[in-house]
Structure 1
Amino acid sequence: MKSQAVRAARPHLFRAAVATAVSVAGLVMASSYIEGADGLIDQLRSSTSNGNDVFAVIGFVLFILGGILAVRSMATALRKALEVRLGDARGVPVALALSILGYLLVILPGLELLGVNLGGLLLGGAITGVVVGIAAQQTLANFFAGIVLLTVRPFTLGEHIVLRSGPLGGEYEGVVRDMSLFYVALQTELGPVQLPNAGVLAAAIGPGARGPDPETAHEDAEPKDGGPP
């Protein structure tokens, strides 16, 4: 299974490595030819056309395009690998989360190269992030717990498990029917149950009752006194 996941992700990882090298080279080129600390936009406005401006623009374009291609290739490689391991499309939301993080790592340096004041932008983003984080605390907890569960895989689809957790309100036993970024669907004797990922991640997880206890079955199989051997 692991070898299949590696084979599925290998071409995308190679493409991501090449794109990352191009992006880093573009960043170095743009930083070297941007004169002063005002950024590329002010340099193009205030100076006549020269070789430095051309190389700065080329470096900036290489950085942005290479970074975008690298992020897309890495996300595709992760999605392909998870699809092989999980047997379905569970890698899509994880790849989406990686894409968002990767694009931020490309956009922020790009804005700095252009001369955008990131101080005020980051301050406003931090305040907004705090407000949104407080308002959506439970949703974000389930989201990140879902990423951990999909990556670590303490159980798989179709497995019979027992969950013991205070936040979940006790014990749940059943067959895992679905795993998403927010909920785990468990088929219990009383019917389907949707359990939030944050509670599942904090739960004690064990195998469910798959049949008679091996020791009991062994004792039952032994002949009784006076019985046939």
Structure 2
Amino acid sequence: MEAVKDFCEFLSQFWQKGLGAINIETLEPIFVSELFTKETGIQNRDIHLCGINFYEKFLHPKDFIILPRIHDVTMKYFEKQKVMNECMPIATYNVRLKNIVGDYQSFSMSLKIISIETISVKSKRFGLLICQPETKFGFERFVLCIPDKKKRLYFSNASGKYVSKEHLEFRAIEKDILKLIASGYNEARITKELHVKIDLIRYYKKCIYQKLYVSNMSEAIYIATLHNLI
């Protein structure tokens, strides 16, 4: 365990980034560097005091619900890459953590596996979390980056798996709705234009929110336009 802590602190100082060490199978936090504490306010004593309730205390409630599901999919992808002797991807989770004053702040957490052959403790498998005080929105919230292939995959909340950008599951009607709203159409005009009942329009809007991890149509249009999804 001390080897993991020393390794984490060394890299944190070398890279000048906040680093944490976790058990990658359970997401259990093991250690955070001084720079990680400086960035987030989270200390090693918080890890020891909170135990298994750490994420429930510090993660935003919505992130606390969805993160275990996403990480489970990430781990399955890691295992697949390992079996195929492929380059291990780097997973990035954009989450909201509670700071010292009780407000939620957005952070980008990039997860990289520590070589199991060189560092292993009691059969646990470890990962490094690289913490940065920034975040991505929409479908870029949860991403896998495969370095050797220069490939990025995005977690789809609709299908429960990582997909390429061009395979984000937007229905044709959802694209039409986004385009019409971006053009200034309200729900009543959209129903006439698309010949669809208003209840269905509202259903598809909720689907769009879910796929892009947003809470309103303004955010959805911004994300979709920014990434040429419509």
More strand by share: 2
Alignment TM-score, normalising by the size of structure 1: 0.23
Alignment TM-score, normalising by the size of structure 2: 0.23
